[in-house]
Amino acid sequence: MERSGVTCLVPGLAKREEVNILHRLTYPEQRVRFFASILDRRDWVESIVAHHLNLALSQCCMDDFENWYHGSFNVCIPVTIKTWKWKQQPGHRVILRLPLPYRVGDAFRLGNGDEKVFCEAATYTWLQMSSNSKGQAFTRLQSLPHVARWFQRLRRRLLSLLGALFRPTNFFRDLSRIILTVTRIPLSKIGSFTIDADGFLQLTNRPLAIEIQDLQNEDIPTNIPRDQNYSSYLPDCHGPSFFNPDLRYGPFSFMLTDLHESNIFVDENWQITYLVDPEWAFVRPLEMLDIPTCLKEGWQKGTFWYRLALESPTSLFTVFYRQIQPRFLKKGPNLAEESFAEIMPSYWAEDYVDIARRKLSDREE
């Protein structure tokens, strides 16, 4: 735990958590050093903001450290704009968002922070290019055509008068539309979008999942080059039981993997107005999409737990032995004490015993 800049290790926490606690104890000191380096480069911060907003350097003023915000992977630095004419947003402040190098494995794999920035910039670009939705999903109300803008205002007014009755419906309807809009375009490769050196959007980066940089952050090599992407996926020995093999060559879909409450902004009627922080979004197999229409089948087949194990190396051991292995052993003999070679066939299919019996019967006949 961290309290007023002091790191405290709760008794028993290191034993309960499946993470490298000793490594995480180094974060506060590394954060202090990184923030100090930013303070020493105030002019650089202000010049970056001035460049992107086409402003004079004298118009930009970086806020003091007390006004900064930071989460698990990024720090947000407010910058105040003086005499900002022709602005397209309310207020006079913007935020410069930087990845925390000690959380993305930059020391182990130099350039991980830049890779993260390029992929996030590409994600915003892809969302803008691929979305033709109107209203609150991606387009700001004031940016809509005149008729559509007044229609949305009237719609919001009516919903406001109806009160809280339709608020959950509004939220889930908007969320469903966003998910469908983002994933509707079939793609031929598994990977992440990135911005190349010439400023072009390309689907050429490795699939930048949080697990990859988490592993590299603890000096664990993944042996996945940054320019590696995949035209197919090969489930391991028990994967065919959870994934449809007909989809192994695609099509694949772009997915937002970090959709949680802190990244979704809503209005008073619970209509989604903005999505922020689309980090770790990349193109994945269709069955990695967790939407309500596939939840029932996912629970019955165990796809949910299989996907969770793939996405969380720190919890893979627990998920495997509690949720995956029992599905394959329940129809066969007690193999707990058997050798590895005898156990492995049970991971190919849940009904492997029946299959083996049929094969033996066919051979005898």
Per-residue pLDDT of the chain (365 residues; tens, 9 = 90+): 343 344 555 555 555 556 778 888 899 999 999 999 999 999 999 999 999 888 999 999 999 999 999 988 999 999 999 988 877 778 889 999 999 999 999 999 999 999 999 999 999 889 888 765 433 334 455 555 666 667 666 766 665 555 555 677 888 888 888 888 888 899 999 999 999 888 889 999 999 998 899 889 988 888 899 999 999 886 554 455 667 778 888 899 999 888 777 888 888 888 888 888 888 999 998 878 765 444 655 566 667 776 667 666 666 777 777 777 777 666 555 555 454 446 656 555 566 566 667 666 766 65
Taking the C-alpha atoms of residue 344 and residue 238, their distance in angstroms, rounded to an integer, is 9
Domain boundaries of the chain, sorted by first residue: 1-103, 108-289, 308-364
Contacts of 22 (CB under 8 A, 6+ apart): 14
Q: What pLDDT is recorded for position 199?
A: 86
